[in-house]
A and B are shown apart, each in its own frame.
Chain A
Amino acid sequence: MSTPLLEVDDVTVAYGDLPALRGLSVRVAEGETLAVIGANGAGKSTLLKTIAGLLRPQRGDVRLDGTSLDGVPAHVRVARGIAMSPEGRRLFPSLTVEDNLRVGGHARRPGPWDLARVYDLFPLVSERRARPAANLSGGEQQAVAIGRALMANPRLLLLDEVSLGLAPVVVAQLYAALPRITEQGTTVLVVEQDVNQALAVASRVQCLLEGRTVLEAAAADVDHAQLAAAYFGVEAR
C-alpha cells in the first residue's frame, strides 16, 4: 500500500489532565473524502486542530506524505497544503468578505483556486463580497469560511462542523459544492455531527468515541444500527 497523504499515528492529546484523543490513528489517502463522526466531546475538533498544528500531541505523530509534522507551526502547515475551515467559521469580522478570502490566500500556494473560482463556486458569496463578514448570515459565513480555506489551494482540506447551527436546506447547499472541490484532486477530511450528511459526501467514515476509534467503514457498507451503537457508545447486538 502506498503512503497515505495524511497519517495520524497513535496520537494522544490532552487538555491538562483530561485526554481528548487517546492513541488515535487516522489515515486519509490522496483524493479520498473521509468523514469523522462522533458525539459531542468525542475528540473530532481536537483531531482537526492537531492536524492543523494548533495543538501539539503529547504522544504519537502526524505525517503528511510520510513526513512528520512534529514541531511544524500552523502557518507553515498551510504552506505545505493543509487548510482548515474551523469550527464556528471564525471569519475576520472587521474585514470584508473579499478581504477574508484574500487572507485565505496569504500563503500564495499555486493551484486551481482563486477569487474568481471561489465566487463561481458560491455565487451568493460573490454578491456579498464588499460587505463586512460580520454582517452575513450563518450559511453565508460558512460558505466564505470554506472559500477562504480553498484560497490556500490545499492538498488536504479540513472542514470542521459545517452543519453547526444551520438549517438543513442550507447545509445541503453547502455540501452540494463538495464534489466540485474534490474533482480538483483535493483530499477532504470532514468532521460532522450530522451523520446522514457525512455519509452522503464521504467515501469512508470513521466514528470516534471518547478519543478512540469505535467504527471504521466504507460509507457504502455502513450498517446503520452498528453506527448508531458506536456513535452513542452502547453495545450493538
Chain B
Amino acid sequence: MTRVEPAARGAGQDAVPPSAGSGGVRVRRSGPAAWIGGGVLVVAVAVLAYLPYVSSRGTQIDLVGLFSLIVLGTMWNLLAGYGGMVSIGQQAWIGLGGYGLVYLAGTLGLDPFVSIPLAALACGLVAWATSYLAFRLSGGYFAIGTWVIAEVVRLLVIQVDEVGAGSGASLTAFSGIDPQYRIAYVYWVALGVAVVVVLAVYLLMRSRIGLALTAIRDEPTAAGSSGVPVTRAKRLVFVLAAVGCGLAGAVIVANTLRVQPGSIFSVDYSATMIFIVVIGGLGTIEGPIIGAVVYYLLQDGLADLGNWYLVVVGVIAIAVTLLAPKGLWGLTRGRLSVFPTGYRVGRGT
C-alpha cells in the first residue's frame, strides 16, 4: 500500500508518487525547515530592498558587491555543481557584460538599465556560439579551454577603440542622475538580479531539465543512452551561466562606473567563484549564497593581508575540497533545505 500526501501547498507542493514502495512511505520535497527558511529569505529580501532609505551610499555600494558575488557563485555552481563543467573562463562573460553596458549605454546611448539585460543577452549569444568549440573538450581540458576563450575575448576587446582599447573606459551614461538616486537604483537592480538568478536556478533544477542535469552529473554515459539530451542540457546551462555572469559584470561596472580590461577579465574572478561555491557547498542552491557571504566577510576582514589573503583563500578551498567536500551547507547534513530541489522519503503520517 502506497500512500502519497502532498506535503504542503504552494512552493513545496508537488509531491510525486513513487512507483513502488512499502506501506506508509511518503515522498516530499519540502519540510518545515524549508518553510521557515523560505520565510526568513523573503523577510531578508524585503529588509534589503528597504535598505537604501536608511543606509549610507557606501553600504549600498558594498552590498552591490555582495549581490554580484552571490550571482557569480550561483552561476559557477550551476555549471560545476549541476552541469558537471568546471570553467575557469567565466571572466569572459563578466567582462563582456561590463563592456557591453559601457558600449550600449555609452557609445550607442541606450538607457543604462535597459543596457544591462541586453549586454547579458549578448553574452548568452556569444557563449552559445563558443560552446560548439568548448564542448569538444571535457574535464580539465574544458576548464582551460574556457580560459583560452576568455583570453581571446579580452584580446579582441582591447582592440576596440570605442571602449578605450587597452586602458579601459568610464561609464558616463548615469551622469544625468543624482548620485544618491543612481546608487539606490543600481542597488535595487543588483538585488533584483541576485533574487532572479537564484530563483531561476531553483526553478530550473526543479524542472525536467534539472532532473536530466542531475542524471548527467551522476552518470553522463548512462544518461546519454537513456534518452537524456546530454549536450543540449549542458549547452543550456553554459549559456545561462554566461547570461548570469554577464548580468553580474554589468552590475559591477554600473556600481564602480569604470571598466578596465586587466581586472574585469581577470582569472581571479574564477578563483573567487570556485572558492565561494566550494566553501559554501557544491551542488546546492544555498551553498553559493553562504559562500558569497563568507567570502564577502573574509574580504573585509583579510583585506590587510595583501597577497596572503589569496593564499588563505586557496588553502581553505583545497582543504574544504579534500576534507569536507560538501562545504559549509553540507554540515547541516541535509537537515535544512531552503530550496528543496530533490525529493525526500520519510515515514508517512
A and B touch in the complex (CB under 8 A): no
* B contact set with A: CB distance below 8 Å: none
